[in-house]
Amino acid sequence: MFDSIIANSAIWILASLVIIAPIQTEQVSLALEEAFAMSQAADVLKEAEALGYIDELARLGGDRALADKAISKIASLVPPNYGFSISWSSQDGIIIGSLSSGDQVNLVHVTIIVSTGTQITYLSLGVGEG
């Protein structure tokens, strides 16, 4: 009888852990992935700034035709195998230029402020694995 009780107890504990552990680890893994994706997006924008791509974008003064070219340069800095979405918009929310590629689910966005000389704009980069 004791053997049966011990076996049942062990199974009960193990079953509880097996059910709960993946849920808990999944939540942690999502939070860590989000943190990592955000740091990736921040790094890309930092590198773009260092390479002068953001200044180049700012000097376009909101020219839609040339914006895509400058945005493509920033997009080239996103690590391969990452889905991304870049959106350049005015303070009123009017999109001046945008570009996206790959999986658009679970993108983590980082936004920066870009003064162009004629207006103040926002550049948002969303990055996600996949």
Partner 1 sequence: MRKAYILTTTAVAVAYLTLLLIQGMSEEVSILRELAAQRISVTRLSSCADAITEDLPRYLRGEVESEVLRSASMGILPDSMNVGVEEWKMASYNFLKDQGVQAELDMGIIGFGRTDGDPEGSLVCGTSFWYILRDAIYETELQDQRAISFIVPIRIYLMSDVVSGFRSSIIGKVWRAFMGNINTEGDDIRRMVVETIRAYQRSCASRDLDFGANVGLEVDRGNVTTTVCINFEELWITDVNPEAIILVNGEPARVTFKKERSTVKLLFRRH
User: Which residue number, 80 or 92, has a Cβ lying nearer to partner 1?
Assistant: 92
b (16+ CB within 10 A) / e for 83-97: bbbbbbbeeeeeebb
Provide the minimum distance between the beta carbon of 130 and partner 1 in the complex, in angstroms, as a whole number.
19
Provide the minimum distance between the beta carbon of 122 and partner 1 in the complex, in angstroms, as a whole number.
7
Provide the minimum distance between the beta carbon of 26 and partner 1 in the complex, in angstroms, as a whole number.
10
Residues forming the site for partner 1 (CB under 8 A): 1, 5, 9, 12-13, 16-17, 20-21, 24-25, 27-28, 31-32, 34-35, 38-39, 41-42, 45-46, 49, 54-55, 58-63, 91, 110-118, 120, 122
User: Which residue number, 27 or 104, has a Cβ lying nearer to partner 1?
Assistant: 27
User: Which residue number, 9 or 101, has a Cβ lying nearer to partner 1?
Assistant: 9
Provide the minimum distance between the beta carbon of 73 and partner 1 in the complex, in angstroms, as a whole number.
17
